Amino acid sequence: MKTLQRTFSIIKPDAVAKNATGDILGMIQHAGFNILGMKMLWITKAQAEGFYAVHATRPFFESLTTFMSSGPIVVLALEKENAIADLRKLMGATDPAKAEHGTIRKKHAASIEANSVHGSDAEDTARFELSYFFAGYELTR
Ligand code: GDP
């Protein structure tokens, strides 16, 4: 029996601004993910700070939260077998210069910060991140 796992993703402001949303959604669906929830938002800096609270002590926190609140984003609730690891693989390395061919970041990312896409890195962060942006009734199952 297949064990389905959920993960959370964001199409970041750089990718939405360059009209890459459709292409990135296509790559995600082509890789076998089901979309359980999706919405476009323009979050405030305070909302970005809440989302990235685990990075509060990192030197790039100020810049990252300014970037994440600089324009619209698309938030996604995704489901698939091995969803968390498979999405990280599809995203590619944080630094697009190090990302492998065929990954979203290799194709679309502009820099280590404006790197087009976010994906949860573990089950506990996926749960927190899904609940940060989605209410239960907003998911199809
Ligand atoms: P991810 O899991 O691959 O997204 O990477 P991290 O969890 O390490 O970092 C979160 C986000 O912070 C990244 O996706 C980037 O947008 C940003 N970031 C990471 N490292 C740097 C950095 O060295 N400089 C800047 N400006 N932003 C960074």
- How far is it, in rounded angstroms, from Cα 110 to Cα 116? 8
> What mean pLDDT do residues 84-101 have?
98
Q: Under a CB-based contact definition with an 8 Å cutoff, are residues 35 and 14 in contact?
A: no
**Nearest atom (ligand 1) to Cα of 63:** 26
pTM of the model: 0.98
Three-state secondary-structure class, residue 51 = helix
Q: Which of 60, 68, 105, 120 to probe ligand 1 with, by most ligand atoms within 8 A of CB?
A: 60
Q: Which of 68, 69, 94 to mutate to test the pocket of ligand 1 (most atoms within 8 A of CB)?
A: 94
Q: Domain 5-133 belongs to what topology?
A: Alpha-Beta Plaits (3.30.70)
- Residue 34 pLDDT > 80, yes or no? yes
Catalytic residue set: 118
Name the pLDDT band for 20 (thresholds 50, 70, 90).
Answer: very high
Closest CA to 10 of 54, 76, 108, 109: 76
Kindly give the distance from the C-alpha atom of residue 141 to the centroid of ligand 1, in angstroms, as a whole number: 31
pLDDT for 47-90, tens place per residue? 999 999 999 999 999 999 999 999 999 999 999 999 999 999 99
pLDDT at 2: 84
Domain residue limits, the chain? 5-133
